[in-house]
Amino acid sequence: MNNTKIKIGFITISDRAARGEYEDIGGPAMQDWIKNAVLSPYEIDNIIIEDEQPLIEQTMIDFADNRNCNLILTTGGTGPTTRDVTPEATHAVCERIFDGFAEQMRNVSLRTVPTAILSRQTAGTRGTSLIINLPGKPAAIAVCLGAIFLAVPKCLELLDKSNIQIDLDFVEQEFE
């Protein structure tokens, strides 16, 4: 039987946004993109947290194990600075890493942004949850999600028999 209850978790990782010093633009950008891409009904859970690896790990574990999110999208913390530890946290909590997601996101991003090589997005699974790290800028979020999202419904179907319907016209369009 297919799982028709889909829950998507959105985690914004930003010191300044978590302290209220900076408006979170990454979290809303992820949610807006998903709203356009996913046709199936879904629930959301979202949070803004600081760039602290133990906190990021704890939040991902909570979203996967306790809040039962099928898909967990993160934004922020994927750059080259010492405070950017989202990929390390993701690797620490995931049982399996899917390098293809990261390769595709960087490949597509490099077509327009030469510094995309510095981005360290990754993706993996914890239990039956798929966790995908995205960059922090809304335009980059759209490019990366557009590059990988066709694989997401199949991955979730294989993990827990989820059945997510997506708007192929929206997902397949090229993002500039």
pTM, entire model: 0.95
Mean pLDDT, range 32-54, rounded to an integer: 97
What is the DSSP track for the chain? --B--EEEEEEEE-HHHHTTSS---HHHHHHHHHHHHB-S-EEEEEEEE-S-HHHHHHHHHIIIIIS--SEEEEES--SSSTT--HHHHHHHH-SEE-HHHHHHHHHHHHTT-GGGGG----EEEETTEEEEEE-SSHHHHHHHHHHHGGGHHHHHHHHH-B---B-HHHHHSPP-
pLDDT per position as a tens digit, 98-146: 999 999 999 999 998 888 889 999 999 999 999 999 999 999 999 999 9
Mean pLDDT, range 137-166, rounded to an integer: 94
Split at pLDDT 50, 70, 90, the class of 2 is low
Asked if 155 and 148 count as a contact pair (C-beta separation under 8 A), the reply is: no
Express as a percent the part of the chain with pLDDT over 90. 89
Q: Which pLDDT belongs to residue 4?
A: 64
pLDDT per position as a tens digit, 65-110: 999 999 999 999 999 999 999 999 999 999 999 999 999 999 999 9
Q: Which pLDDT belongs to residue 3?
A: 55
